Amino acid sequence: MSMVRNNSYSCVGIDGCKGKWVAVYISENKFEVDKFKTINDICSRYSDSDIYIIDIPIGLVEVKSQLRPDLIVKKALGKKGSSIFEVPCRQAVYAEDKKAARELNVAILGKSLSEQTLGIAKSIKQVDEFLQNKPQWKNRLLESHPEFCFSKLNNNQPILEHKTSAEGQQKRLEILRNYYSKSDQVVEKFLNDVPFRKKTDDVIDDLCLAVIGKIIFEKGLKTIPEKPMMDDKGILMQMVYAE
């Protein structure tokens, strides 16, 4: 019996939004865009997709000698490097309050944490706990970063226009259309259907992650760093992309 490679893909791009999550699902013949309360809800809804990519740190250092991909990606993004936040150590993510989180991060990594980073600590913790409780999702739910993915889709040129500006959004959508023809419809559906204050940049970021998933499905997975370290919980500390 000859094995025929199935070319129909299904990919999910996920991003946090005001304590909830927005997910964009794309496949050969349909797309969905929706808001979810938890990561578990998303992974249950799309339990048999090919690729899941999330814009949240996955895999956390617990000692200074462990290495996440952030600084490498920050450097690769040049002027857009500021979109990459410092990632707290796991101990700080599980701290009981911001003060304790800062102190633990200083003690372990030698640096404090910004308000912005502390603002996403709950989301980082939710994903980390999900992976501990559902180990079958370890190294299946993958991390990347929209600005990094956009640079890959744009011949390694970061998009300098800000993602919340009309110009920045148009430029990003223009790039996405080259890889996924229904890009505008995804954004329209989000603006029409998803019941909360509309931030078009969130859905564009999610769509970008889903589109990178589609290209990974077609051309293969690449990671930064090329040989990622594993954290103490068996999670690879990497950002994924495709060329």
Give residue-wise pLDDT tens across range 104-131: 999 999 999 999 899 999 999 999 999 9
Lowest mean pLDDT among 86-100, 131-145, 186-200, 224-238: 186-200
**Domains defined along the chain, listed by start:** 10-60+68-84+127-241 (3.30.420)
Question: What's residue 6's pLDDT?
Answer: 56
pTM equals 0.93
Question: What mean pLDDT do residues 130-148 have?
Answer: 97
* 223 pLDDT above the threshold of 90: yes
Show Cβ contacts of residue 31 under 8 Å, excluding neighbours closer than 6 positions: 24, 25, 182, 185, 186, 189
